[in-house]
Amino acid sequence: MNLADKRIVVTGGAGFLGSFVLEALAARGVREVFVPRVEEYDLRDRDAIVRLYAAARPEIVIHLAAVVGGIGANRLNPGKYFYDNAIMGIQLMEHARLAGVEKFVALGTICAYPKFTPVPFREDDLWNGYPEETNAPYGLAKKMMLVQAQAYREQYGFNAIFLLPVNLYGPRDNFDLESSHVIPAMIRKCVEARDAGIPEIVLWGDGSPSREFLYAADAAEGILLATERYDGPLPVNLGTGHEIRIKDLAELIMRLTNYEGRIVWDTTKPNGQPRRCLDTSRAKELFGFTAATSFEDGLRQTIEWYEKSRRAA
């Protein structure tokens, strides 16, 4: 599929990952991209979605929009995270079908995997258990788009694909400590403690879990490769295939930010899922995606962006 001559709606295009997807679309020469803003199009509202499709007349919908946060935010908002994410996906896909959209690209989440999935996570293991409890409502809400996509393909011949990106990071991420994920939270804590001369930072859990991280620009490239080249029913992981323990991640960020204090692990807080690392072979086989950015290079660029934006503020 040549995207350059397509009309494309990117939900969440004003957000973190969305900004990189828009850049990647522009690099491909795409001219007709519509990004719905929440002030005009509340994607939880059916009538707003109908108006959106009538105004934009998309041939492709890339659904990135999500109500999302770290472990703390998920624990505080399980009902909201379930409802908002489920209702957006269900109604956006249904009305895309009714509007004759050519292709629907649904972004799931690594949180959809069972808590004790064998490592590396293979797509065939998605239904072999319940997700980790702190983010299960969010993960299950997003996983319902896989069920919907496969059901719509079977009954209506609707071309919807489902992608599972691992934890994302990069410049322009959310650095709000109330809702951020682990990398921006650690970067902010280290930089602020370094500049204020604070001798220690407090991090959640005990540092033993592992996580895999994908640079946001690489994720955007994977999404567009799938949009161009993949039209099948199988869910597909997007990641690097490499994991790092949270303890080792914290020490790496301390080194890259030149913070010389110490870490206090708050073991009264949850660790989350014990391990996360993806089998990325399906993405490579089906649409040729391999992550290009090394983890340390990506962290350096993220830290540089945060320091620059902090100085500007």
In whole angstroms, give the CA distance from residue 51 to residue 65.
17
How many Cβ atoms from other residues are within 10 Å of residue 53's Cβ?
21
For the chain, domain boundaries: 3-170+213-241+276-293
What is the model's pLDDT at position 42?
97
Alpha-carbon distances of 237 from 17, 87, 258, rounded to whole Å: 16, 23, 34
| 168 DSSP β-pair partners | 214
Q: Which of 81, 138, 169, 306 is catalytic?
A: 138
In whole angstroms, give the CA distance from residue 9 to residue 209.
37
Under a CB-based contact definition with an 8 Å cutoff, are residues 9 and 61 in contact?
yes
Please give the torsion angle defined by the CA atoms of residues 216, 219, 220 and 225, in that order, rounded to the nearest 10 degrees: 160
Cβ neighbours for 228, distance < 8 A, ≥ 6 positions apart? 1, 2, 3, 287
Strands of the chain (E only): list them: 7-11, 32-34, 60-63, 103-107, 160-165, 167-169, 200-204, 210-211, 213-215, 236-238, 244-245, 262-266
In degrees and rounded to multiples of 5, residue 169 shows phi and psi of -155, 165
pTM: 0.94
What is the model's pLDDT at position 178?
82
What averages of pLDDT result for each successive group of 10 residues across the chain (313 residues)? 97 97 98 96 98 98 90 86 97 98 97 93 97 93 98 98 97 90 95 97 95 97 98 98 97 98 94 90 98 98 97 92
What is the model's pLDDT at position 274?
86
What is the model's pLDDT at position 72?
78
In whole angstroms, give the CA distance from residue 85 to residue 244.
28
The matching CATH number, chosen from 1.10.40.30, 3.10.20.340, 3.40.50.2300, 3.40.50.720, for 3-170+213-241+276-293 is 3.40.50.720
**Amino acid code (one letter) for 37:** R
* Cα 165 to chain centroid, rounded: 6
What is the model's pLDDT at position 64?
98
What is the model's pLDDT at position 272?
81
**Is 138 noted as a catalytic residue in this protein?**
yes
